[in-house]
Amino acid sequence: MLNQIVLVGRLTGEPRRSEDNRKAVITLAVPRSYKNADGEYETDFIPCILWNGIAENAMEYCRQGDLVGVKGRLQNEGQHINVVAEKLTFLSSRPSNNERDDD
């Protein structure tokens, strides 16, 4: 049996720490690969739970708009299904104002 999920998307906001400081939560905007009946691509917004070192790295290096990959598993908690990250890969980041090339 296998419980594995791989997502690639952009962060919809800054990573958020839990009240107990043991985990962080990010939300990924993941566009679907097909168009709907109106000819538009829809986007899914998927919350991901990060623990320990992964949470620390996300809090330090991730910003809204960054493109990241998440490898993890699905976890059923009552009526909610969460993605629990086992690996976070930084794919790209949005340039800040001082990093943009204005040529």
Domain ranges in the chain? Answer: 5-94
Regarding predicted confidence, which is higher, 92 or 73? Answer: 73
Closest by alpha carbon to 57, among 68, 65, 46?
68
pLDDT at 92: 85
For the chain, the first-to-last Cα distance in angstroms comes to 53
Where does the pLDDT of residue 95 fall: very low under 50, low under 70, confident under 90, or very high at 90 and above? low
pLDDT at 100: 45
pLDDT at 62: 93
Q: What is the pTM of this model?
A: 0.81
Look up the CATH architecture of domain 5-94: Beta Barrel (2.40)
